[in-house]
Amino acid sequence: MVAKINRLIGRIIFCLFLCTAGLIKPAVAGNMVLISDAETQNYLSAIIKPLFRAAGLPFNANNIFIVNDNSLNAFVSEGNYVFVNTGTLLEADNTNELTGILAHETGHITGGHIVRQKLKMEDMQYVMLGSLIAAGATAVSTGRGDAAMAILLGSQSSALNSMLHYQVQEERSADESAVKLLNKTHQSTDGLKKFMRKIKRKYALSGVEENSYFRTHPLTSERISHFEEASKSNHYPAASSLDNDLKLIQAKLSGFLLEKNKAERRYPRKNKSTEAKYAQSILSFRSGDMPHALALINELIEEQPQNPYFHELKGQFLFETGKIKDSITSYEQALKLLPNNYLLQISMAHSMLESKDKSTTQNAVNLLNKSLITHKTSFAWQLLARGYNTLEDKASSMYAAAEYSYAIGNLKAAESQLQAAAKISKNKSLNLKIADLKERVKADLKKQ
């Protein structure tokens, strides 16, 4: 009986994590597929930065992540990290809709909901533990397992209801904060209202009936009414200077992520708009039709020579088809237009290393080190280890390899690589870096 009760508690805890997934997604965070794209990340930064400033929150562009997921969702986590699903980006009709969604998520941060929900979850686990003890005592004293199960289920149901009610209140609070932030930044609330209607249509089309008992958000119809009321006193325009940027991002995401037939229906060849050409160039690339892909991207560059992302895409096409030197030229042009972007720096450095030209290796190493100042990525460390090895700087190569191992969670490999680097390093600055990473590895190994 005790074993059965333990298994039941395990299932209930898992259910609770899934129920709270709308805010922090703890149950699926380890399985998220994140994508990196300079264009999309810069676009989202332009939306989120004014909201964070209005809310009095510190802003860090590196804390924005794009989740490769078709569902309509965005969420935040501890540390002011913001996650936006590709499905949300693709389904939004304009920037104002996305701004409303992100204003809502900002409201969760300012309301302290993430920390409080974590504490609430801990409280629930204590309730579950107490129920288990009471259930065990009942089973021992009466010999009746059904009585023990009744105590357990009654306590869990009460705790679950409390948790869900608490979350509904938080969602209402975040909606109210979103309206205040939009007013403060002189932006329309229409986007929130329209996106809620979109969600309601999705429910209807999928045959999902919103249940007022087991849910973590207010009913969609209730939220729509709230935003309709808010719109009466909000007269700011819904149009945004970022709307054209969103069209291009949707075209890029469609070209790379959607099934080809779906993307082709969305951007048929008869459509000659800039965003359609963008999607079609990627679809041609995916189909192996490089002449058509390059012809389209060259047309776009001719139309908008100051758009760094067109040069970046051309660089990617050329790199992935083995035209390494030409790809360096394209990435170089993209970096001239967007000089401090770490993703472009990594892409260009990668091309330089693939060129097998030792004269460019030092430039690649410099670019990678520069990118790591802005944002530490495992791929940059991996490339840096390779670059230093080509330059025959074995100590620096082993240190970079250790940073890569540490970044991907291979602590034992990092420990071994650091020992090797320390044995041969004669550089004081490098020795300090090695010592610092040793302490980080040591601390993480202790936690394990």
Amino acid at 136: G
pLDDT at 171: 78
C-alpha dihedral over 58, 63, 69, 72, to 10 degrees?
Answer: 0
C-alpha dihedral over 189, 36, 331, 396, to 10 degrees?
Answer: 140
Cβ contact 281:298 at 8 Å: no
Closest CA to 83 of 64, 100, 69: 64
Sequence-distant (≥ 6) Cβ neighbours of residue 193 within 8 angstroms? 224, 227, 228, 231
pLDDT at 94: 96
pLDDT at residue 406 tops 80:
yes
The mean-pLDDT minimum among 165-169, 305-309, 361-365 falls in: 165-169
pLDDT at 78: 81
User: Rounded to whole angstroms, how far apart are CA atoms 435 and 373?
Assistant: 19
Cβ contact 298:314 at 8 Å: yes
Write out pLDDT tens, residues 320-358. Answer: 999 999 999 999 999 999 999 999 999 999 999 999 887
Q: Which residues pair with 83 in a beta bridge?
A: 65, 75
DSSP string, 39-89: HHHHHHHHHHHHHHHHHT----GGGEEEE---SS-EEEETTTEEEEEHHHH
pLDDT at 113: 52
pLDDT at 162: 42
Q: What percent of the chain is modeled with pLDDT above 90?
A: 60
Average pLDDT over residues 260-275: 96
Average pLDDT over residues 241-268: 97
DSSP 214: S
For tokens 């701004």, what's the residue? 99
pLDDT at 386: 97
| Three-class SS state of 34 | strand
pLDDT at 4: 35
Q: What percent of the chain is modeled with pLDDT above 70?
A: 74
pLDDT at residue 183 tops 80:
yes
Residue spans per domain, the chain: 2-231, 376-448
pLDDT at 393: 97
Query: CA 6 → CA 3, 128, 132, 310, distances in Å?
Result: 5, 10, 8, 56
- pTM value > 0.85: no
| Three-class SS state of 239 | coil
Q: Which residue has the higher pLDDT, 10 or 247?
A: 247
Please list the helix, strand and coil fractions of the chain in percent, rounded to the nearest 5, in that order: 75, 5, 20
Tokens of 313: 């895409």
User: Rounded to whole angstroms, how far apart are CA atoms 87 and 202?
Assistant: 13
pLDDT at 75: 87
